[in-house]
Structure 1
Amino acid sequence: MKELLQQKAVRIKLLITDCDGVLTDGGVYYGEDGESLKKFSMRDGMGVERLRKLVGIDTAIITGEKSPSVIKRAEKLNIEELHLFVKDKPAVLAGIIHKLNLKPEEVAYIGDDYNDAEVMKLVGLAACPADALPGIKAIADYVCHIKSGEGCFREFAELIIEAKNAYVPAGPMKNGVITLRNGRKIGDGEACYIIAEIGINHNGSLEITRKLIDEAVTAGADAVKFQKRTPEICVPKDQWEVMRDTPWGRMSYIDYKRKTEFGVAEYATIDQYCKKVGIDWFVSAWDVPSVDFMEQFDTILYKLASASLTDFKLIARILETGRPLMLSTGMSTMKEIEAAMTFINDYDPAYPLFVAHATSAYPCKPEELNLRMIETLGNKFPGVPIGYSGHETGLATTIGAVAMGATFVERHFTLDRAMWGSDHAASVEPQGLQRLVRDIRDVETAAGDGIKKVYESELSPMRRLRVNISEEFKEKPQLS
């Protein structure tokens, strides 16, 4: 099975089918009393039962007909969601999704005619029989080998069952939302958690750090993040004595890294200041002693940098703290990501865990951002909040990541991209951070609930411009 088709199939929680042209061949038969009958395939009935018993997926029927045969068939198969004589299939679909608390990507649909086209475009996985109309075949994710009325529904059902049974996530299902100790929630259905990564852009200065925190608060960011290292561990020994030009003069690389590393006094000041201005703060810990050091501060979570994804000693130390863990996945293969997830789930299947898609290039070219990985990771690790750690220039792609499902985003943040230091060039300046937060909130507001409605603001132009107006929207005469 193709990987994309499997990724879609594993998310399915409900399979909806049309009747004529899928469950039947569209023929009309008559009984003794003149009633029209339908000939159903026993194979399709088995498909309904196997979906329910093997993978816990129910079936629904949406049809434009009102045949007693369809009603009896649904009763026999215990199909509760039966919608007959339907004129507006997308509206009925929206109602089912709302009623069952599903997402469109968790619904599959199989149809054969042009009145199925709009529904097929709205769901997560769409299929059609082998004898469907050409235009329907063109938009289907999967075209069955079997014709309508001969078992095409069963074929599609078996495809979903196979995908569900073959798919083994790296860990158990989680509930999709993590609540931090301060009550903030990160995950599906919550406002995007926006992280301004100060990192090492403070250049060893508490004055610069305070200004960056103030600008992050002004922009409306939810958190600021720093990086904590033990230079003697993180700097390769062959680099220790390499001389560098720095703002403090020419010095060895190890001395430069020591000079820019904050200690107890600085982090105590950061802790107090962030509490004062009301913003979360945490760090990427790059080594075990750095975790030991940070445990004297009550930070909101730990971040694991992309470079540390394969450092299982570091991961184990963070897990011992019990604080939520946010993994970055840059410079990693899917196999390496799965190994880290398995390691964490073996420690504690319920451990509070986030995963951030990232590409570790500074700055990163748009063609290497690969934002579709947000969806891939969401499919691979159901229930784990998926986010995005961006190292690109510009804001549009980070906003796009939120539109594509990122539940949290992180961008490097600086007062001035021209400042001395390795991360400034790929960072966002204060005005840019303000625009980023504003635009993310606008995207969240604009997303709506996915249910089509006529808004009050549309009534006036409707009455001016539309030729035929539905009775419900016509102006009622005023009684004198």
Structure 2
Amino acid sequence: MNDVIKQKAANIKLLITDCDGVLTDGGVYYGIEGENLKKFNMRDGMGVERLRKHADVDTAIVTGEASASLIKRAEKLQITELHLSIKDKPAAFTEICNRLNLQPQQIAYIGDDYNDLEVMKIAGLTACPADALPNIKAIADVVCSLNGGEGCFREFVEMIIESKNDSFFANAKNSSIILNNGRVIGKGQPSYIIAEIGINHNGSLETAKKLIDEAVAAKADAVKFQKRTPEICVPKDQWEVMRDTPWGRISYIDYKRKTEFGIAEYATIDQYCKKLGIDWFVSAWDVPSVDFMERFDTVLYKLASASLTDLDLIKRILETGKPLMLSTGMSTMKEIEHTMNFIDAFDKNYPLFIAHSTSAYPCIPQELNLKMIQTLEAKYPGIPIGYSGHETGLATTVAAVTMGATFVERHFTLDRAMWGSDHAASVEPQGLQRLVRDIRDVEIAMGDGNKKVYESELLPMKRLRVNISDEYKEKPLV
């Protein structure tokens, strides 16, 4: 990308796109009742969201089509500037400029056909797919390497993001990621502390709210839950196994159903966390759970260690465009590499975190292997590395921060004696408060690595040192 195009891209405030030949491959598909259908590229949809979040640039669609599929797609992507059955695209362009108080040079346009030619002559920055008509290629500022419907829109979006927000990519190269609420996780930032509530609410919304209250009081950065579809996640041969529970002796599948929150509970949690100013997100254990969680604007997705090899689940999360935090317990390096290669093939710039973990509950110190934090950091430079701990003490989690963990996660409960599988490996409210306090103290204590003489050392120096350097002999005591 040359400097002229980069400067043009840096000024963009709105990206207008044609539909057929850009967002789709221009083909026509028919449903069972003969209605027109469109095939959209998932990466292009992610591009709309990334453009909005990382460059503060909205997307508009101006097209001669009037497809019901396009209307639904625009609703899904929250594109409100949708202009259908447009015969005069330059006139539509001018109307958008006037209504949104934008100058032509602040608008980018991507098209592929003759009816895009005139509007491309007045837009500030233009692009076209690799299979655009020759006259369009001749006038476009950028000719994408990908065809229409195969990711050319996303390719153009990433170029705009790179130009508009160099700091985003600079942070990425320095092992940092910006969440959708502006919070930065990575090197040089305070460790992002996650209170893992998981299923420790035992199916009670009131217990969940108390846990959120305690996490806020401890000054944790986020709370995390777990979302499952019991019928998918519980092996069929375990469904009818009976067990004693707080609800009496019931089947295992019924127990898992009772501990699972639905739309009403998560809507309340969403509102409650926003009110208290704490981030929240979930570990999604299956594809329908991701579909369910997409109703909420959570800051990221967590992939549990057990799911590291579930490529269908990973793909569904990647399609959301939200940052993904991988946990690596019960995994070999080969399995980690395989998953990382899968994600890289999907999108080499995908916002990703990796958490070192050992999946034992509770985990003994001999198996924590904290040096893996540095191993992962060396193997995957540019990716924030963190730690998900299941030990019983606090010191080793604090130690993880000193070894470079940019985020830490610990299971959290109101009382370790409560009924349930995860409480014994969890910290209680007072423990979480101490953990946050100790991590923040250690972060301050680590300093900047540059040797200096502090004011507090001058008096002991003058009293104890045999030979005092000239620069300090006359320095007054404070």
TM-score for both structures, normalised by structure 1: 0.63
1:128-154: per-residue Cα shift (whole Å, max 9, x none)?
xxxxxxxxxxxxxxxxxxxxxxxxxxx
> How many angstroms apart in 1 are the aligned matches of 2:459 and 2:256?
65
Task: Please state whether the residue corresponding to 2:441 is helix, strand or coil.
Answer: helix
One-letter amino acid of the counterpart of residue 374, structure 1? I
> How many angstroms apart in 1 are the aligned matches of 2:433 and 2:281?
21
Contact 2:222 2:279 in 1 (8 A): yes
| 1:303-314 alignment runs, 5 A limit | 303-314=302-313
> How many angstroms apart in 1 are the aligned matches of 2:384 and 2:284?
20
Q: Which residue of 1 aligns with 2:198?
A: 199
| 1:223-262 alignment runs, 5 A limit | 223-262=222-261
One-letter amino acid of the counterpart of residue 440, structure 2? R
> How many angstroms apart in 2 are the aligned matches of 1:193 and 1:235?
31
> How many angstroms apart in 2 are the aligned matches of 1:308 and 1:381?
20
1:110-166: per-residue Cα shift (whole Å, max 9, x none)?
xxxxxxxxxxxxxxxxxxxxxxxxxxxxxxxxxxxxxxxxxxxxxxxxxxxxxxxxx
Matching of residue 411 in structure 1 with residue 413 in structure 2: no
> How many angstroms apart in 2 are the aligned matches of 1:437 and 1:415?
16
| 1:207-356 alignment runs, 5 A limit | 207-356=206-355
Matching of residue 424 in structure 1 with residue 423 in structure 2: yes
Deviation at 1:383, TM superposition (A): 0.7
Task: Please state whether the residue corresponding to 1:186 is helix, strand or coil.
Answer: strand
Deviation at 1:175, TM superposition (A): 3.7
Contact 2:354 2:384 in 1 (8 A): yes
> How many angstroms apart in 1 are the aligned matches of 2:228 and 2:180?
25
Distance 1:464 1:181, change over 3 A: same
Q: Which residue of 2 aligns with 1:450?
A: 449
Distance 1:477 1:361, change over 3 A: closer
Matching of residue 189 in structure 1 with residue 191 in structure 2: no
Task: Please state whether the residue corresponding to 2:274 is helix, strand or coil.
Answer: helix
One-letter amino acid of the counterpart of residue 290, structure 1? S
Deviation at 1:475, TM superposition (A): 2.5
Contact 1:196 1:413 in 2 (8 A): yes
Deviation at 1:174, TM superposition (A): 4.0
One-letter amino acid of the counterpart of residue 311, structure 1? D
Deviation at 1:477, TM superposition (A): 8.9
Distance 1:457 1:268, change over 3 A: same
1:205-251: per-residue Cα shift (whole Å, max 9, x none)?
01100100000000000000000000000000000000010001010
Task: Please state whether the residue corresponding to 2:281 is helix, strand or coil.
Answer: strand
**Which range is displaced more, 412-421 or 175-184?**
175-184
For structure 1, list consecutive stretches of 5 or more residues without a partner in the other structure: 1-172
Task: Please state whether the residue corresponding to 1:434 is helix, strand or coil.
Answer: helix
> How many angstroms apart in 2 are the aligned matches of 1:344 and 1:318?
10
One-letter amino acid of the counterpart of residue 298, structure 1? D
> How many angstroms apart in 1 are the aligned matches of 2:322 and 2:398?
28
Task: Please state whether the residue corresponding to 1:451 is helix, strand or coil.
Answer: coil
One-letter amino acid of the counterpart of residue 415, structure 1? L
One-letter amino acid of the counterpart of residue 224, structure 1? V
Matching of residue 371 in structure 1 with residue 370 in structure 2: yes
> How many angstroms apart in 2 are the aligned matches of 1:429 and 1:251?
28
> How many angstroms apart in 1 are the aligned matches of 2:310 and 2:458?
60
> How many angstroms apart in 2 are the aligned matches of 1:397 and 1:477?
42
> How many angstroms apart in 2 are the aligned matches of 1:428 and 1:298?
27
Distance 1:416 1:477, change over 3 A: closer
Task: Please state whether the residue corresponding to 1:297 is helix, strand or coil.
Answer: coil
TM-score for both structures, normalised by structure 2: 0.63
> How many angstroms apart in 2 are the aligned matches of 1:311 and 1:206?
29
Contact 2:412 2:423 in 1 (8 A): yes
Contact 2:352 2:383 in 1 (8 A): yes
> How many angstroms apart in 1 are the aligned matches of 2:192 and 2:201?
22
Runs of 4+ with >3 A deviation: none
Q: Which residue of 2 aligns with 1:436?
A: 435
Q: Which residue of 1 aligns with 2:76?
A: none
> How many angstroms apart in 1 are the aligned matches of 2:193 and 2:337?
25
One-letter amino acid of the counterpart of residue 450, structure 2? I
Deviation at 1:419, TM superposition (A): 0.1
Aligned residues: 306
Task: Please state whether the residue corresponding to 2:338 is helix, strand or coil.
Answer: helix
Task: Please state whether the residue corresponding to 1:468 is helix, strand or coil.
Answer: coil
1:1-23: per-residue Cα shift (whole Å, max 9, x none)?
xxxxxxxxxxxxxxxxxxxxxxx
One-letter amino acid of the counterpart of residue 377, structure 1? L
> How many angstroms apart in 1 are the aligned matches of 2:306 and 2:476?
70
Return the index of the structure with the highest Cα Rg.
Answer: 1
One-letter amino acid of the counterpart of residue 308, structure 2? L
RMSD: 1.1
Contact 2:174 2:187 in 1 (8 A): no
For structure 2, list consecutive stretches of 5 or more residues without a partner in the other structure: 1-171
Contact 1:174 1:350 in 2 (8 A): no
